[in-house]
A and B are shown apart, each in its own frame.
Chain A
Amino acid sequence: MSEERYTEEHEWVRLEGDIAVCGISNYAQEQLGDVVFVELPEVGRVVAANDEIAVVESVKAASDIYAPVAGEVVEVNSGVEDDPEIVNRDALGEGWLFKIKLDDTSEASKLMDESSYEDYIAGLDD
């Protein structure tokens, strides 16, 4: 599976073997506006799904980012700490935030696929 899966909190997950690459959706970065600060988790931290794991701040406000899946944080993207605007520029690519080694690789398949997520955000009030 190389396509992204999404949470209702607007994180995305892309599986690379048993590693889940995670970030925030394009919709989320658009809603946040200009990202000026990203706080990432410690490598080695073990998280449950929905744990507060990172913070993305725009000029306007700070937003908590939740772990989309359970596992161990194995890598964080220090590039976005140095240049947070990458999250706006390329939320699904260079703007990834952290990688989680999955406890259970089937967990990600429970999240929304792209078309379900598009339906989901279409139903949200702006």
Chain B
Amino acid sequence: MSDHDPNAPLAETPLAALHMRLGAKMVLFAGYSMPVQYPLGVLGEHKHTRAAAGLFDVSHMGQASLSGPGAPEFLETLCPGDIAGLEIGRMRYTVLMNADGGIIDDLMVLRLADNAFHLVVNAACKNEDFAHIEAHLPADLSFTPRPELALIALQGPKAAETLATLAPGVDRLAFMQSAHASIDSIDTLITRSGYTGEDGYELSCANADIEKLTERLLSFEAVEPIGLGARDSLRLEAGLCLYGHDIDTTTSPIEAGLIWIIPKARRNAEAGFPGAARIAREIADGPSRRRVGIKPDGRAIAREGSAILSPDGGRIGTVTSGGFGPSAEGPVAMGYVPPAHAKVGTSVLLEVRGKQHPAQIVKMPFHPHSYYRGQ
């Protein structure tokens, strides 16, 4: 992840004009001018998404196409996930690894055909990610960033019934399945996925069509536009990692609690992805730290960077994400601590503005996931 070059022009998504009309408050995020909230406010937007359906502009994220013979095997040289075994039409969460076993970025990989994939990476990382993939690309594969595509997410318990009125059958997709649909003649790639812990979809279409598609979705009573503020509190309650905060080039997937993204057959030093030796070692010996959920006993909010202390006052770790969880009805946090302090129910202290506040290690998510797993 790179910081935004202050001299570079501020980018905007194809929905910038719509955000203005909707009364959004805009902030700089990953080099883009993005809506942090709309008039409903962060708390209201968060609750609305959990109760009905929220619509998010995520067009700043990087989309790309990868195709050619051996494309799945190539992805497995960069990622620890099972890509070769991914069914056509299904998507998987994985990470790009560095040689030290750290995480270059987390991403979604959708298999469109035997040898064709659609990738979605983080906005702040996309230039480095794409350069990294191109640098390792075999000559007979084709890799194409897709800046002409926009991306929105529709999330919440009313997402399925709402989208199904425009794209019949999408309510029968299971979590991480995809479909192509024509919505009001707009060619749309739909995946049942998201970043809120709720059931929902991400929809990719041409930049030229995204405003029309977004306004069509916003025309439903159940759908409200949601900014980055609520996107962050929703994903934090869902226990999902934010790249550059909860995971980065120093954290391994094992430390981050992401062992589930590595199939058993690849949990060894010879698995052929960068950093496999560290993964194997940490599985065998245990990592030196683990990502944990932390629930403060009181109301004080421990934000990113707050020290985590053992009950005797010694520093054991750092909060990587923390905030107020509107659905959890109190402060929530995640951070890294040594395994000895990582067990659920362990007491810790969180330092906020020089004061120590008691807290407990808890199981994540802080708010239950409601993914649709199919019939």
CA distance A33 to B43 in the complex (A): 9
Question: Residues 243-281 of chain B: 1 if any A CB is under 8 Å from the residue's CB, otherwise 0?
Answer: 000000000000000000000000000000000000000
B303 and A62 within 8 A (CB): yes
Residue A55, interface by CB 8 Å: yes
Q: How large is the interface on A (under 10, 10 to 19, 20 to 34, 35 or more residues)?
A: 10 to 19
Which residues of chain B are near A39, meaning CB under 8 Å? 300, 353
B301 and A37 within 8 A (CB): yes
A34 and B300 within 8 A (CB): no
B41 and A36 within 8 A (CB): no
A59 and B43 within 8 A (CB): yes
We find that the number of chain B residues with CB closer than 8 angstroms to chain A is 18
Q: Min CB distance, B176 to chain A, in Å?
A: 29
Residue A57, interface by CB 8 Å: yes
- Report the nearest A residue to B25, measured CB to CB: A126
Which of the residues A34, A37, A57, A62 comes within 8 Å of B41, measured between beta carbons?
A: A34
Given contacts A59-B233, A60-B36, A60-B229, contact A37 B324 (CB under 8 A): yes
- Near A by CB (< 8 A), chain B positions 11-61 give 36-37, 41-44, 46
CA distance A81 to B298 in the complex (A): 11
B353 and A36 within 8 A (CB): no
Q: Min CB distance, A27 to chain B, in Å?
A: 15
CA distance A57 to B296 in the complex (A): 15
CA distance A4 to B233 in the complex (A): 35
CA distance A93 to B112 in the complex (A): 59
Q: Min CB distance, B339 to chain A, in Å?
A: 31
CA distance A57 to B43 in the complex (A): 13
B353 and A60 within 8 A (CB): no
CA distance A37 to B355 in the complex (A): 15
B331 and A59 within 8 A (CB): no
A57 and B324 within 8 A (CB): yes
Residue B299, interface by CB 8 Å: yes
Q: Min CB distance, A79 to chain B, in Å?
A: 14
A59 and B326 within 8 A (CB): yes
Which residues of chain A are near B303, meaning CB under 8 Å? 62
- Near B by CB (< 8 A), chain A positions 67-102 give 81, 84
Given contacts A33-B43, A34-B41, A39-B300, contact A55 B324 (CB under 8 A): no
Which residues of chain A are near B36, meaning CB under 8 Å? 60
Residue B323, interface by CB 8 Å: yes
Which residues of chain A are near B323, meaning CB under 8 Å? 59
Which of the residues B37, B229, B233, B331 comes within 8 Å of A37, measured between beta carbons?
A: B331
CA distance A7 to B242 in the complex (A): 37
Question: Residues 98-122 of chain A: 1 if any B CB is under 8 Å from the residue's CB, otherwise 0?
Answer: 0000000000000000000000000
- Report the nearest B residue to A57, measured CB to CB: B301
CA distance A62 to B324 in the complex (A): 11
Which of the residues A57, A59, A81 comes within 8 Å of B229, measured between beta carbons?
A: A59
Given contacts A39-B353, A59-B326, contact A33 B300 (CB under 8 A): no
Q: Min CB distance, B121 to chain A, in Å?
A: 26
Q: Min CB distance, B330 to chain A, in Å?
A: 9
Binding site for B on A (CB under 8 A): 33-34, 36-37, 39, 55, 57-60, 62, 81, 84
- What are the 4 tightest A-B residue pairs by CB atom distance, in nearest-first order? A34-B43, A36-B324, A59-B42, A37-B299
- The 26 listed contacts between A and B (C-beta, < 8 Å) are A33-B37, A33-B42, A33-B43, A33-B229, A34-B41, A34-B44, A36-B43, A36-B324, A37-B301, A37-B324, A39-B353, A55-B353, A57-B301, A57-B324, A58-B42, A59-B43, A59-B46, A59-B229, A59-B233, A59-B324, A59-B326, A60-B36, A60-B37, A60-B229, A62-B301, A81-B299
